Amino acid sequence: MTDFLILPLIRSALLAQFPHIHLAQSTRQGAAPGAPLGFNLGYGLGDDDTRVTNAVAAFSARLDLDPEDLAFMNQVHGATIREISEPGVYDDTDALITRQPGIGLTVRTADCVPVMLYAPADNLIAAVHAGWRGTAERITQKTAETLVRDFRAEAESIYAFVGAAAAGCCYEVGEEVAALFPEGFILRQENGNPHLDLKGLNRQQLEAAGIPADNIEVSELCSIHEETLLHSYRRDGKRSGRMLTTIVLCEAV
Ligand SMILES: [Zn+2]
């Protein structure tokens, strides 16, 4: 594991105040020289499987987890939300909720928005994968509302981190996609396609679910133009690796 002694991670300053969770987003930094995709946590992208396995283990260790403790989703840009009590891989799912300590709810991205939710009073966490399709289906708002409606969390006491993702500065969409969203989140250029503020839309959905603005942190990092720090499918296409964002409730202390 000496390849990963230096492993930069993105943290939430806001959620770091809570001692009973760990939360981190990986970057493309931290791989040994020669790794074709940098620090890559996605399989099936042309990277060596063993290297990916080692990278997942190194990332997990920084959250005090084993790789087997992670819960992944086969993300389909839908709006299916699942409550889980075991790690593993969940098909056709774009949001996970758990009360169970020790399970790392994990979102895999390379431009899409990872949204992590924590209700400290209820010992409840959630993780959401929100690309433009999921955002159009309001998956982040629906997940926050599920915590309130089905799990009796108080919206005012929920905290959220919207992770590094494609930002309005760089995230071009076609007019047909722009038309799905309120005009206030579309950035119009003199020439060229409109840009979409996907992270802002997810912040707005959290607030629409009743979460106070002060309880929400939005990463300013843009995956598309942070070329040395972040993976971006939009920028690098098939040569893009994947980042993981994970939140976990610590075991009872
Ligand atoms: Zn940008």
pLDDT confidence tier of residue 253, bands split at 50, 70 and 90: low
Give which of 93, 136, 118, 142 is closest to 215, Cα–Cα: 118
Q: What pLDDT shows up at residue 3? A: 53
* Gap from CA of 238 to ligand 1 centroid (Å): 19
Q: What pLDDT shows up at residue 32? A: 84
Q: What pLDDT shows up at residue 1? A: 47
* Gap from CA of 82 to ligand 1 centroid (Å): 32
Quote the percentage of the chain above a pLDDT of 90: 94
* Gap from CA of 44 to ligand 1 centroid (Å): 26
Separation of alpha carbons 243 and 231, rounded Å:
7
CATH code: domain of residue 167: 3.60.140.10
* Gap from CA of 163 to ligand 1 centroid (Å): 14
Flag whether pLDDT at 162 surpasses 90: yes
Q: CB–CB of 21/248 below 8 Å?
A: yes
* Gap from CA of 218 to ligand 1 centroid (Å): 14
Domains held by the chain: number: 1
Looking at this protein, which amino acid is placed at residue 74? Answer: N
253 lies in a domain?
A: no
Which region among 30-34, 76-80, 142-146, 160-164 has the lowest average model confidence (pLDDT)?
Answer: 30-34
Q: What pLDDT shows up at residue 16? A: 97
Using alpha carbons, list the distances in angstroms from residue 90 to 20, 62, 80.
25, 23, 11
126 lies in a domain?
A: yes
SS3 label, residue 139: helix
3 lies in a domain?
A: no
14 lies in a domain?
A: no
| Residues contacting 173, CB < 8 A, separation 6+ | 132, 193, 194, 195, 196
6 lies in a domain?
A: no
The 10s digit of each residue's pLDDT in 70-81 is: 999 999 999 999
The 10s digit of each residue's pLDDT in 28-52 is: 999 988 899 999 999 999 999 999 9
Domain extent, residue 149, equals 20-244
Give which of 171, 64, 50 is closest to 110, Cα–Cα: 171
- Taking residues 6-35, report their average pLDDT: 95
Looking at this protein, which amino acid is placed at residue 195? Answer: H
* Gap from CA of 92 to ligand 1 centroid (Å): 29
* Gap from CA of 249 to ligand 1 centroid (Å): 32
- Taking residues 7-14, report their average pLDDT: 96
- Taking residues 117-146, report their average pLDDT: 98
* Gap from CA of 100 to ligand 1 centroid (Å): 36
- Taking residues 63-89, report their average pLDDT: 97
Q: What pLDDT shows up at residue 4? A: 57
Q: What pLDDT shows up at residue 202? A: 98
The 10s digit of each residue's pLDDT in 219-235 is: 999 999 999 999 999 99
- Taking residues 97-116, report their average pLDDT: 98
Q: Are strands 9-10 and 195-196 parallel, antiparallel or unpaired?
A: unpaired
| Residues contacting 199, CB < 8 A, separation 6+ | 113, 162, 165, 167, 168, 218, 219
* Gap from CA of 53 to ligand 1 centroid (Å): 30
